[in-house]
Amino acid sequence: MLGLLVIVAISWILLHFIQKEGLDALGIVPNRVRVYQFFVGFVAMMLIVLLTISIESFIAKIQWSQHSQINYTSIFNAFVYHLRSALTEDLVFRGAILYILIKRAGVKKALLLSAISFGIYHVFSYGMVGSDIIPILYVVLVTGLTGYIWAYLFYKSKSIMMPLGFHIGYNLTMSLFFENQPYGELLFKEISRIHLSEWNGFLLLLFKGIFPSIVTVIAIKVTLAVNRGLKDSRTG
């Protein structure tokens, strides 16, 4: 919590002295629209992850065992944990620095720099320093692509809330099914899967990494098109 407060303070200092603006430039102060954006992002990403897991389960013939008793306290604690960790990352990679870069360097450069730094960060956070180059490139590609899309969401929505919803929705849903620290396998536990060839296993891994981002982009494009249509119908 202290680290999060320090990041918030640094964000305010950067915005105040460089852009002469306050924290609300990040769209971080909750209101009706921003709460709605968070909820939409959270639910949309949960559905996307569930779809991805369903496809993986079909391809790899995964068998799941559901826990006989649901520990709602652990699920709530997991949500709080992911809220703090996701907010910390979003303030760093989709917060004041990204906002300032958009204003000073332009949208394309700002989003690209945010994505690259987000991808490289995960090499360290996953403890992959010193690993083979292929796994490192995979992590940078997958997390960098995700970071680019979430940064684009920040730019389009003018708020950190929707990408934050996507971020928490992804992390929390994954922790319901897969082993993770400090919270994992909260609802289900994988008990078996078929063995795939090395090439098919790689393709499945690539699908798991990229498919959620592809669906997210489609959802964003459809949402923006619908919003434009509604605005045009009102002004026409």
- Kindly state the tokens that stand for 196: 């795939």
- Kindly state the tokens that stand for 188: 């289900």
Q: Are 14 and 96 in contact (CB under 8 A)?
A: yes
- On the question of pLDDT at 230 being above 60, the answer is no
DSSP bridge pairs for 81 = none
Report the pLDDT value the prediction gives residue 145, as an integer from 0 to 100.
94
Helix, strand or coil for residue 97? helix
With bands split at pLDDT 50, 70 and 90, how would you rate the model's confidence at 228? low
Q: What is the pLDDT of residues 20-63, one digit of tens each?
A: 999 999 999 889 989 988 998 999 999 999 999 999 999 999 99
Q: What is the pLDDT of residues 100-155, one digit of tens each?
A: 999 999 999 999 999 999 999 999 988 888 888 988 999 999 999 999 999 999 99
Q: What is the pLDDT of residues 171-207, one digit of tens each?
A: 999 999 998 888 999 999 999 999 999 899 999 999 9
Report the pLDDT value the prediction gives residue 233, as an integer from 0 to 100.
59
Task: Tell me the pTM.
Answer: 0.90
